[in-house]
Amino acid sequence: MLHIRVVKTKGTSRSVQVYRYQKGDRVIIKHIGSGSNDEQIKALQAIAKVFIADYTKQTSLFEGETPNEKDVLLSQCTYIGSYYTFLYDIIRDVQHQIGYTLLVDTLLNDLALMRIVEPASKLRSIELMAAYFGVHHRRQRFYESVPRWSALKNRIERQTLGFAKKQYQFDFSLVFYDVTTLYFEAFKSDELRKTGFSKDGKAQQPQILVALMVTPEGLPVGYHVFPGNTFEGHTLIPVITDFINKHKVKHFTVVADAAMVSTNNMDALLEEGIHYIVGARLGNVTTELFTQIDSALPREDGCTIRLKTDKGFLICSFSKKRYNKDRHEMEKQVDRAKELIQQPSKIKKQNT
């Protein structure tokens, strides 16, 4: 890297030079010229910049800056690591805006922050916070703090709802609902941690089932924890009714996926007067209703129909992409069946 310096010579004259450092020594690359006043020196410095640009074939990163003689040289430094302080400050600022920093201690906020950056166990997260951000927490403090955190659930939900109402005009009119599983790196079950259907593919390890409700913007506003062997379809009604009663909600619509659909759930939602939008499996509808859909739905991409049923309105849409995929899969099965018919000897092998 080349630098420009101005040095005094005889009398009032000053010299402009271009130099670089090589193994800690200053090496003069070019003597640009000498001047006796500031105007001449500025002109010589401009010439020096042009020379550096021609010599190095690159422009200055910080235009207009002249390196100081006291600047620290990269060759004199030793890299010892870096921290992602900007990322830490941004997420902490969001936590502060929502109000979490006023409700819970720093450790819990940092554990939530670390969960966003790199999900890991709580003890592992303490180590990662030190490595990523230079933030240190004692493991003993974690063991002392954990028993107090479960009592914060309702306060945190109220604080989050207040933020959602203020910043996103959340009015309970539309809430998205889903569940997931969180497994533990252990093989011992208890009253809450139980083995069950694992979305993480960890069927042999105990888990818990977490039901979560979010706003249309994706901001969580409520959650419940169930034993790991709970069927996810059984969580919808108790979670929704508890949420409505707790916050005295008058107008409410829940959106859920097809796993939540059951006759009992829909009957319970209708009985409670709760509006719902849920995914439906066409394989579960009656033959009569399926025939009605087949005759009424146009085969044009994006077209929809709305049919009234005893469980509410059924909205069906046609997707050209999905149609082509299903048709391709069906044709493959038909071709395979024809091949087996033509070569009966393969049928036994196919069954095994």
pLDDT above 60 for 69:
no
pLDDT grade for 6, boundaries at 50, 70 and 90: very high
Element of type H or E holding 177: strand 175-183
pLDDT above 60 for 352:
no
Non-local CB neighbours of 162 within 8 Å, separated by 6+ positions: 99
d(CA 39, CA 178): 72
pLDDT tens digits, 107-155 = 999 999 999 999 988 899 999 999 999 999 999 999 999 999 989 999 9
Region 171-279: CATH code: 3.30.420.10
Non-local CB neighbours of 263 within 8 Å, separated by 6+ positions: 311
Bridge partners (DSSP) listed for residue 31: 17
Q: How confident is the model at residue 67, as a pLDDT?
A: 53
- Full DSSP string of 45-81: HHHHHHHHHHHHSS--SSTT----TTPPPGGG-----
Q: Is the pTM of this model over 0.85?
A: no
d(CA 29, CA 48): 11
- Domain chopping of the chain, boundaries: 3-76, 83-169, 171-279, 321-351
d(CA 62, CA 230): 61
pLDDT grade for 61, boundaries at 50, 70 and 90: low
pLDDT tens digits, 230-240 = 998 899 999 99
